[in-house]
Amino acid sequence: MTKVLIFDDNQDLVSVKRYLETHCDWDVVLSAAKDIPQRLSMERFDLILLDLMIAPKSWNHETCEEIDNVQFEGIDYYFTGIELLRRIRRGEYVQSEDLGTYPNVPVIAFSALASDPLKDELKDKLGVIDHFDKPFDPEELSDAIRRATTAPA
């Protein structure tokens, strides 16, 4: 079963999560909680949808609880997603051939504030397949996901 991480502090993406679970029969995690780096090391994700800016805390509307999100020392929260991606690409979350998330995992990024030079860096230096500005068209995201999951390795 395909395993997807939606790395985002915005619980509004639960509709995207449910769509992928229902229509694609995928196992989908929607979270930016502080345990995500550990989960990347212990689980094999096949696709990552990545928000670039992750607030230090967010709110889970279903459980009515505050969530402590991933934060990296010395990194402004505007760049949390980029730092996570850099660590993925360096192979920091691969424990063995069977454990962890590979550095070449397909990544689709999105952000409300990304500049064109940053988008170029994401694609050219960090291997992001596509980038979407928030709010994005769900159909366009769906097409990008289809391309990412059917592209030859």
Report the first-to-last Cα separation within the chain, whole angstroms: 17
Which residues are CB-contacts of 6 (< 8 A; sequence separation ≥ 6)? 13, 16, 17, 28, 29, 30, 31, 48, 49
Structure-token match 């230090």, residue found: 56
Say if residues 100 and 94 touch (Cβ distance below 8 Å). Answer: yes
The single-letter DSSP state of residue 61 is T
Say if residues 52 and 9 touch (Cβ distance below 8 Å). Answer: no
Q: Write down the pTM of the prediction.
A: 0.91
When pLDDT is cut at 50, 70 and 90, the band that residue 114 belongs to is low
Beta-bridge mates of residue 30: 6
Rounded distance, CA 153 to CA 141, Å? 20
Residue 153 scores a pLDDT above 60:
no
Q: Name the residue ranges covered by the structural domains of the chain.
A: 3-150
DSSP assignment of 3-35 = EEEEE-S-GGGHHHHHHHHHHS--EEEE--BTT
Give residue-wise pLDDT tens across range 1-50. Answer: 889 999 999 877 888 888 889 888 899 999 999 999 999 999 999 999 99
Which residues are CB-contacts of 38 (< 8 A; sequence separation ≥ 6)? none
Residue 90 scores a pLDDT above 80:
yes
Number of neighbouring beta carbons within 10 Å of residue 152: 3
In CATH terms, the fold of domain 3-150 is Rossmann fold (3.40.50)
